Chains A and B, each alone.
Chain A
């Protein structure tokens, strides 16, 4: 009897694990859940407020800074060529740190080590502008993070965080975004949480924000204590979500409600 119960339990677990992941054909970007007006805003470069940050990032790209007196462009040249697809590959493994780093961390590493300039604060206007400018160069390209023996443990950690219930509401990310996407939470559509367009302009924020800002929003929403910006746990979660959205097309800088 006990053995039967254990077997049944295992079967149920297997079924729920299968039900958890969204089949590839059913994956939809947050863009598909938006109103016609908000889509029009994203689609046109002169109406998309995210492009203001891209414009500023383009100016920062060629401005010399730091003790080394070097600009991003001095090493990387034309971003349209050198930065093409870079955002679609991040978080990427960094040998020096022995773990995957986010695009923001990569930019800051370059600033500190190559330009010898102070690191930019998370969510600062400059860091968002540079990230948006770099991410813009990947628009229309498929998300393609590398999962190998080095990154697998971090992917697993990210997935564990995604599936872990937390906060006073005792909710896991998965319960909304895998199991209940397309339904409504207090009047708002629950999207599938594919990070195709970060950093993005959120109308609610009236500004630009990173994926980690979005994570912290959700964590506060379930009344758990949010991780600090740059916390390794958040980068692992970024890696898991990018892997989950593998093959989907980048649309940064996106506009979301």
Chain B
């Protein structure tokens, strides 16, 4: 179970630049660490984050082992139409979490 926290302004003016913030719980295990018995701890990270707005991709980030646990990703986009923002995180071991948020453009 991965918890997420997403901040999207519920309403915006047309053409306004809006800030979007996302936080997701994930250990981001690097794959470089070893357990106390010397066994390698397998890598378990989020590899990709994609945000679409009204079906069109507006932001994409590739994540790597050096990124801290519970990645916090913030970015901005231009409010064009009222619609749905979709957030999709995918990663190792079949990790896949999808969330949505609505924005109203006036």
**B-contacting residues of A (Cβ < 8 Å)?**
44-47, 49, 51-53, 55-56, 203, 206-207
Contacts and interface: CB of A to CB of B under 8 A. Distances in A.
A45 B70 CA distance: 14
Contact of B69 (A53, A56, A207): A207
Interface string B10-29: 00000000000101110010
Contacts of B24: 52
B5 interface: yes
Given A52-B70, A206-B70, A207-B69, A47 B23 contact: yes
Contacts of B4: 52
B21 A47 contact: yes
B6 to A, nearest CB: 7
Given A47-B72, A52-B4, A53-B3, 13 more contacts: A46-B7, A46-B21, A46-B23, A47-B7, A52-B23, A52-B25, A52-B70, A55-B3, A203-B68, A206-B28, A206-B68, A206-B70, A207-B70
Contacts of A206: 28, 68-70
Contacts of A44: 7
Q: How large is the interface on B (under 10, 10 to 19, 20 to 34, 35 or more residues)?
A: 10 to 19
A206 B72 CA distance: 12
A235 to B, nearest CB: 28
B88 to A, nearest CB: 18
Given A52-B23, A52-B25, A45 B69 contact: no
Contacts of A55: 3, 5
B37 interface: no
Interface string B41-77: 0000000000000000000000000001110100000
B1 interface: yes
A51 B5 contact: yes
B72 A49 contact: yes
> Could you say which of A44, A49, A203 has the most chain B C-beta atoms within 10 Å of its C-beta?
A49
B7 to A, nearest CB: 4
Interface of B: 1, 3-7, 21, 23-25, 28, 68-70, 72
B25 to A, nearest CB: 4
Nearest to B5: A46
Nearest to A201: B70
Contacts of A52: 3-5, 23-25, 70
B1 A49 contact: no
26 contacts: A45-B5, A46-B5, A46-B21, A49-B23, A49-B25, A49-B70, A49-B72, A51-B5, A51-B23, A52-B3, A52-B4, A52-B5, A52-B23, A52-B25, A52-B70, A53-B3, A55-B3, A55-B5, A56-B3, A203-B68, A206-B28, A206-B68, A206-B69, A206-B70, A207-B69, A207-B70
Contacts of B70: 49, 52, 206-207
Nearest to A46: B7
Contacts of B21: 46-47
A53 B69 CA distance: 13
Contacts of B3: 52-53, 55-56
A56 B21 CA distance: 19
Contacts of A46: 5-7, 21, 23
A207 B27 CA distance: 9
A56 B70 CA distance: 14
A56 B5 CA distance: 11
